[in-house]
Amino acid sequence: MDKAWAEFVAERAAALQKEEMPMMKEIDISYRTMFAELAQRTLDAQFAADFPMEGWFVTVTVKDRDYWYFDLPTPEGKDKRSYVGPHSDEAITARVKAHKEIKDNIRERRRMVSTLRRAGLPGPDAFAGDVTKALADAGLFRLRAVLIGSVAFSTYAGMLGVRLPSSAMQTGDADFAQDFAISAGVEDSLPPVLEVLQSVDPEFRAVPHQADKAKVVAFQNAKGYRVEFLTGNRGSDEYTGKPSPMPALGGASAENLRFLDYLIYEPIRTVLLHREGVNVLVPAPERYAVHKLIVSSRRLTDTLGRVKADKDLTQAALLFEGLVETRQSDAIAIAWEEAWDRGDAWKEAIGKGIARLPEKGIKALGKALGPEVVEDLVKR
């Protein structure tokens, strides 16, 4: 580590030991409780819509792990089999066991969303919400895809129970990620993605990948709104810049990105505050924050790249602060250690991100990790 960087980190370490971090405002407990209940109700509603009463659930073992599937009889006399989820997902297994008892009240869910939005909890812009809902209804999150980016960030206020500024959530696109092994292994698929998106806006079109014109990882409408599918880079850099075919994504491929496997590992189920609520999977907030540190350092250095990097770091700082204020410092520490232990490229990217992290984010990290971590950065 060069001398200038060492001096910078040392100054930051001294500052965080001297100064107290102002409190982030928490959301009233009644709204936090309502948000949690809405998340459960939206999963119940999606479950009831996906799996009609005339079908039945079966267990399938794949590579020594048990998964739920759903068999639905068809007029042709052959059962249609759909992927449900892993036995290890307690929320899914509980709903399988209580399938016939699930009842949905869509008007009540709309009322709850309206109440939460009036109370100041954020939601997506209407178009992003409609796109996400259409993909959710088509089965995207049932197939273990993960909503990422700023649309996902909007769910963290309700999840953590803190107020996050809406300026940190503005976006002109929607990004979704899926692990390649899951896409290849579930033996199920969305309907054609382009058709799903055109049900929201008929002007959506497929955007051929630059490296392989026969594959599509992104879709765009006439106003430039972009929907993109991503996956983690598999094993080496040879996949970087090349699209991966994704059997579960309804004809779409996915862009391979380094560091993405870390982001989408063990995602969290929550609700997007749009219409009657949309049940989604998003990255764990501590992983989202650490990942934003990393990707901020890899943005292009043009004007747009710098704007995106600033937004990355603002979101990271807000989540570090929110997690500390809600007594989840251990989650930061665990996510940080995993990323840090992945090698020199990860350490370098994290270090560069910290160099530009807003002061409140630095202070929150100091509280979560301890000053000794910063001192270790100096030594390295």
Tens of pLDDT, residues 96-112: 998 888 888 999 999 99
- Which single residue is written with the structure tokens 């496997």? 261
Q: Give the predicted TM-score (pTM) of the model.
A: 0.89
pLDDT of residue 1: 42
pLDDT of residue 238: 62
pLDDT of residue 294: 95
Integer Cα distance of 218 and 341 in angstroms: 32
Mean pLDDT, the chain, whole residue set:
89
Mean pLDDT of the 114-131 span: 95
Tell me if 361 sits within 8 A of 324, measured CB to CB: no
| CB atoms near residue 376 (< 10 Å) | 13
pLDDT score of 375 more than 80: no
Integer Cα distance of 51 and 97 in angstroms: 13
pLDDT of residue 21: 44
pLDDT score of 18 more than 50: no
pLDDT tens-digit readout, 183-225: 999 989 999 999 999 999 999 999 999 888 899 999 999 999 9
User: Which of 189, 219, 182 minimizes the C-alpha distance to 203?
Assistant: 219
Q: Indicate the pLDDT class of residue 42, thresholds 50, 70 and 90.
A: very high
List beta partners, residue 241: none
Q: Which of 68-82, 103-117, 262-276, 324-338 has the lowest mean pLDDT?
A: 68-82
**Between residues 145 and 373, which one has the greater pLDDT?**
145
